[in-house]
Each structure stands twice: as structure tokens, then as C-alpha cells.
Chains A and B, each alone.
Chain A
């Protein structure tokens, strides 16, 4: 079985500050890990994904995430928050053994203060 826990349903940062959104996963098989962003009244857009290889993954809009197997984590970071980053962020896990269905966390709403 696979599951995802996102720590913090709401995160608030100031514009220009570091963004850190936390994601821990549980998987009995090698995981594939994803971060998606959802703007109000829109679908999900992929920010980045980890499948194999380099554990530090860079995505769109300046975001990156690091796969840490020993900590079962895949935290999302961005050095400097922009107002346009305000949205809801979802971490998800899948695997070859479970097909490519995505198992999502509950989401973290990011608020950026001016």
C-alpha cells in the first residue's frame, strides 16, 4: 500500500522568504514522487517529479524537491516566494507495482504575504 502525509494544511510566508512544504510518504515498493499545484477553480499542474536517478529534482517556477529515502520524505522548496505562488500544493506517490495511479496527500495551502 502507499500513502502520503503532508504536514501543515496551511503555510504562510512573506514575499521573498523561503518556501518549505513538507511531504512524507509510505510505500512498500520503490516510489515515484510528484508535486502538483492547483490554483483556484483549476485542475492540477505538475511542478516536478522523481522517478529514478538524481535525488534533487528541479521543477517549474523555481521549485525543487529532494528525495530522501532514509527519511521517506520529498519536501518541496523555493528560495524566494512570489505572490503568484499562492495556491494549493499536493504531494503524490505512485509506483510500477501499483500501476501509475496517483495517491495524493491532503494538500497544503500556501499563502504569500506582501
Chain B
């Protein structure tokens, strides 16, 4: 059973550029959440997608946007990159029916903004 997969593993961009990160959820899961983990900090919730719509959003600017496809995979887009966007971006998948369901995390994408 494939777990949560993310691509790419690492990415280097320069300030002002745009980036797209990808996530495939665990088999059978249809809810995808994205988190940003800055160095030395805990993950911060960015947003969550269910049925191709953004269901919840954390305290992140509109430069952060996302999309969920009919096969439940998801993309995270960040526009006008800032140095402070350098972080590990984690995708997590879960079942939507229960708020107690475990979120399964992927290995993350390490984004470096120069």
C-alpha cells in the first residue's frame, strides 16, 4: 500500500519566482492538507482540500494557493517567493468522515529560496 508521496524532494528557487509542489495521498484517502515547517519549528497548517475545494485555511497569504484533482492528488502553488518561504513543505492525507482520523504525512519537499 503506497503511502503519501510528494515531488520533488528538493527545490531551489530565487526570490520572486513561482513554485508548484505535488502530493499524492495514501490509497483510499480523499482529504489532503498542506503544512509548512520552517527550520527549527513545528509544522504550520496552510490549507486543506476535500472534494476539490479548499475546506480550511490557515494564516497564510494569498500567495499560497492550491488545487485538488479528481484523483485526490493535490498541488501547492506559491507565487512571488520570499526568502522566508524557505521550509519543508509537508503534505498529509486522511479520511474526511472523522475528525479523529489519523493524518498520514509524506516525506516533504525541501524548498530553498535564494
Contact = CB atoms under 8 A, between A and B. Distances in A.
A108 B82 CA distance: 28
Given A43-B90, A43-B106, A96 B99 contact: yes
Interface string A75-114: 0000000000000001010111001111111110000000
Nearest to A97: B99
Contact of A100 (B4, B42, B103, B105): B103
Nearest to B107: A43
Given A101-B33, A106-B42, A45 B105 contact: yes
Given A90-B43, A104-B42, A49 B4 contact: no
In the complex, which range does the number of interface residues on chain B fall in? 20 to 34
Contacts, number: 65
A51 B102 CA distance: 11
A107 B102 contact: no
B43 A101 contact: no
Nearest to B9: A41
A56 interface: no
Interface in A44-96: 44-46, 49, 51-52, 90, 92, 94-96
Given A43-B4, A43-B108, A100 B99 contact: yes
12 contacts: A4-B42, A36-B105, A43-B90, A43-B107, A44-B92, A46-B103, A90-B42, A100-B100, A100-B103, A101-B48, A104-B42, A106-B41
Contacts of A28: none
A100 B43 contact: no
Interface string B36-52: 00001111110010000
